[in-house]
A = this chain, B = another copy of it.
Amino acid sequence: MGPARSLEHPTPEQMSLDAVLSALADPLRRTIVAQLAGDHDDQACIAFALPVSKSTSTHHFRVLREAGVISQHYRGTSILNGLRTEDLNLRFPGLLDAVLAAN
């Protein structure tokens, strides 16, 4: 069956403040982050019930992943999404908490 499909994630050093702030500046993406922070981690994209089309949803999850805000890995036909809390706190201390508290 070969290796599972994989997705690119930036290391903490590779994360840019530009990308993280731009990612968090979108309200739809902040609802994703807030849900991951509030409920448990590892939720499939479909569990978010976003008020946009599937392709738009894909777009927003990718922006978050490429910025380093969330992790994504395949699990069957789904993708499990997780908040990269520790990595974010390491790279940009206090930022995630401030944004979550302000939301």
Q: Chain A residues in contact with chain B, CB under 8 A?
A: 17-18, 21-22, 24-27, 30, 91-95, 97-99, 101-103
Contacts and interface: CB of A to CB of B under 8 A. Distances in A.
26 contacts: A17-B30, A17-B102, A17-B103, A18-B25, A18-B26, A18-B27, A21-B24, A21-B99, A22-B22, A22-B25, A25-B25, A91-B102, A92-B101, A92-B102, A93-B98, A93-B101, A93-B102, A94-B94, A94-B97, A94-B98, A95-B95, A95-B98, A95-B99, A95-B102, A97-B98, A98-B98
A63 to B, nearest CB: 12
Nearest to A19: B25
A95 B95 CA distance: 6
